[in-house]
Amino acid sequence: MTRLGSGGRIEVICGCMYSGKTEELIRRLNHVQIARQRLQAFTPRRDTRYAVGNLVSHNGVRIEAQPIDSITEIRDYLRDDVQVVALDELHFLDDSADTIVETCQALADRGLRVIIAGLDQDYRAAPFPAMSRLLAVAEQADKLFAICVRCGAYATRSQRMIDGKPAPFDAPTIVVGGLELYEARCRACFEAG
């Protein structure tokens, strides 16, 4: 019979903007709560799109989440009896890829189920190093897609727009924004700035 196993594991949920990463994370955490497993969720403080301290899905399911500035804070907040640790929007953390991977590995090695959601590529379609490495070591990796706003195909890229034009290549990697700033695009419709 297939089972998750009693040991720790890393699950990665990645994709472009609007691909439903947060929705999928909340779906899994809802099941964790139904199964009465002990959960702690975290969210980078830089993610100002939601009510601070909550993961919120479009259909209103709300999961309490502790805001953090660095992934290393997870260890400080961790309760002894926790079974599942979740982190949304990994790309908003400034930590090095080494620090992120080592922290997630250490949590999973302790027997925890670690669920990480975040962008796989930046607005230039370059991979985020920490996410690339987590994908390699994860027990489970899911890559979600959105819908290209130009042609309706499956979208894998997050296009940043400034005054109707693709943002220049040398702009900051992280700029918080929603539909006014980012469009989901497919490979063919994606325009490098």
Residues contributing to the site for ligand ADP (CB under 6 A) = 15, 17-23, 58, 146-147, 149, 184
The CB-of-184 to ligand ADP minimum distance in angstroms stands at 4
The CB-of-7 to Zn ion minimum distance in angstroms stands at 41
Alpha-carbon distance of 169 to 112, in angstroms, equals 39
Given the complex with ligand ADP, which of 91 and 124 has the nearer CB atom? Answer: 91
The CB-of-185 to Zn ion minimum distance in angstroms stands at 6
14 annotated as ligand-binding:
no
Instruction: Pick what 17 binds: Zn ion, ligand ADP, none; C-beta below 5 to 8 Å, kind-dependent.
Output: ligand ADP
Chain residues in the site for Zn ion (CB under 5 A):
148, 150-151, 153, 186, 189
21 annotated as ligand-binding:
yes
CA distance to 57, 59, 115, per residue, from 15 (Å):
17, 20, 14
152 annotated as ligand-binding:
no
- Helices 129-137 and 97-109 cross at an angle (nearest 10°) of 30
22 annotated as ligand-binding:
yes
Active-site residue list:
89
Burial of 25-55, coded b for 16+ CB within 10 Å and e otherwise, reads: bbebbeebeeeeeebbbbbbbbbeebeeeeb
Alpha-carbon distance of 40 to 42, in angstroms, equals 7
Q: What's the CA angle centered on 61, arms 31 and 127, to 5 degrees?
A: 80
Tokens for 76, please give them.
């400080």
Question: Which residue ranges make up the annotated binding site for substrate?
Answer: 174-177, 182
Question: Which residue ranges make up the annotated binding site for Zn(2+)?
Answer: 148, 151, 186, 189
Question: Which residue ranges make up the annotated binding site for ATP?
Answer: 15-22, 88-91
